[in-house]
């Protein structure tokens, strides 16, 4: 084989290596930027989770030392909240089914 064919093969190999390195660097940099964005969003959420929730100061005494009416009121409030959440869930489901029912109309 003549020497100029070997020279062309070596130059082609070097060009392919340089192009592959550039491709890897560019995509690696883009991946790093995406991971940095995800990390930033995750850190904001973790920071929000670490903050204490605002709590209403209630009577700190245990329920068995308080009058029975306090426990009954607490249970009634909790049950009303459960019923409210179930109603909201039913409403959301009904709205979504209404959208799906007329999706292809």
Among residues 55, 83, 62, the alpha carbon closest in space to that of 70 is found at 62
Query: Which three-class secondary structure string do you get for 11-28?
Result: HHHHHHHHHHHHHHHHHH
**pLDDT at position 63 over 90:** no
Residue written as tokens 């903050």? Answer: 51
pLDDT in tens, 10-41: 999 999 999 999 999 999 999 999 999 999 99
Structural element, H or E, at residue 76: helix 68-101
Question: What mean pLDDT comes out for the span 81-105?
Answer: 93
**Rg of the chain, C-alpha, whole Å:** 33
Q: From residue 34, give the alpha-carbon distance in Å to each of 40, 57, 63, 84.
A: 10, 43, 51, 40
Q: What is the pLDDT of residue 52?
A: 87
Across the chain, mean pLDDT equals 91
- Residue 54: predicted pLDDT: 80
Q: What is the pTM of this model?
A: 0.43
| 8 Å CB contact between 71 and 63 | yes
């Amino acid at each position: 084989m003549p020497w100029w064919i070997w020279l062309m093969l070596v130059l082609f190999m070097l060009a392919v290596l340089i192009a592959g390195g550039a491709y890897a660097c560019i995509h690696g940099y883009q991946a790093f930027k995406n991971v940095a964005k995800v990390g930033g969003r995750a850190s904001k959420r973790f920071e929000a989770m670490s903050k204490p929730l605002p709590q209403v100061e209630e009577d700190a005494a245990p329920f068995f030392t308080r009058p029975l009416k306090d426990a009954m009121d607490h249970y009634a409030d909790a049950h009303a909240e459960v019923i409210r959440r179930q109603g909201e869930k039913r409403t959301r489901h009904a709205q979504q089914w209404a959208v799906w029912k007329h999706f292809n109309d």
